[in-house]
Amino acid sequence: MTSHQLGFAGVVEPPLRLDVTLEPGLHTVWGEPAAGTERLILLASGALAPRRGKVTLAGASPHRSPSSRRTIASLWPVESLLPGSSVEQSLALALELREAKQTPREVLEPARLVHWLARRCEHLDDHERRGIALALALSHSAPRLVALFEPLSRVAGLSRQWVLDRICELAAAGAIVLVTSASRSDARALGGGQLALQRGRLSPNPTLFWTPERVTFYVEVDLPREVTSRLLTDPRIHDAQVQGGGLWATGATREEVSLAVLGALRDTGAKARLMQERDMGGTR
């Protein structure tokens, strides 16, 4: 196993029976909690040890290795904030344990939750605690693994689009991003590699729940023709066209289009001024 893989080897943790290796990138698992999605995230993030088998991240056990857990950003089914009279104090302790240089304000500012810093932890409900935990997870600067249970559901205070964008950014940066959803529409919105969890096993069979995606980005760039020519050679891009001082790029998922555009910018030496998703009438 390479240092950039998450492995489940002979894992038995009812109802789960897993023999699978996940590479860097976004992996969306569709399934109900009863099928094992809760335990999948707890196992991956090191919160739970399997009854049999091994879970490894970069060759280490997340459950046994504190240093490994510091490289993991997670959102659990139920979140309890670390001790502190306020959200700010609780986040400060979490960041200290993660050995992160960020401040609580820097965690909540991108999520537009700075006004929650002074709130008392005991006054938060379950959805608000999950919202803060998700903002903390998505603030991780260089995670090896991002393991999120239902990041688009039962989460208060966060913009759905910001969560989707941040998940794609972390996957594009090289993290293994494992997300679960019981909702077919949420699973489609999350995109990425598509897995179904049925009878305790992961199946790479998206036809069980997936409908075709069509995602289009508009990119303002200083070398639109060169970048477009490069994109048209990338199998992840369905179509690319020059328009004015920019270009349109269409593909199956946000992650695939984003990665293709970033690769084309790197290969051509072009600089992008703007990259924004546009609704071009595709099926979602």
In whole angstroms, give the CA distance from residue 190 to residue 12: 27
Domain 6-208 has CATH 3.40.50.300: yes
What does pTM read for this prediction?
0.72
Which of 161, 170, 101, 163 is CA-nearest to residue 133? 163
Token digits for 36? 């094992």
Residue 118 backbone phi and psi in degrees, to 5: -85, -5
Question: Average pLDDT for residues 3-22, to the nearest whole number?
Answer: 92
Helix/strand/coil percent split, the chain, to 5? 35, 30, 40
Q: At what angle do helices 254-268 and 160-172 cross, to 10 degrees?
A: 50
The model's pLDDT over 256-277, given as tens digits with 9 standing for 90+, comes to 889 999 999 999 999 999 998 8
Question: Cα(129)–Cα(133) distance, rounded to whole angstroms?
Answer: 6
Query: Residue 146's pLDDT band (boundaries 50, 70, 90)?
Result: very high
CATH number corresponding to 215-278: 3.30.70.100
Mean pLDDT, the chain, as a whole number?
90
Q: What ranges do the domains of the chain cover?
A: 6-208, 215-278
pLDDT at 205: 57
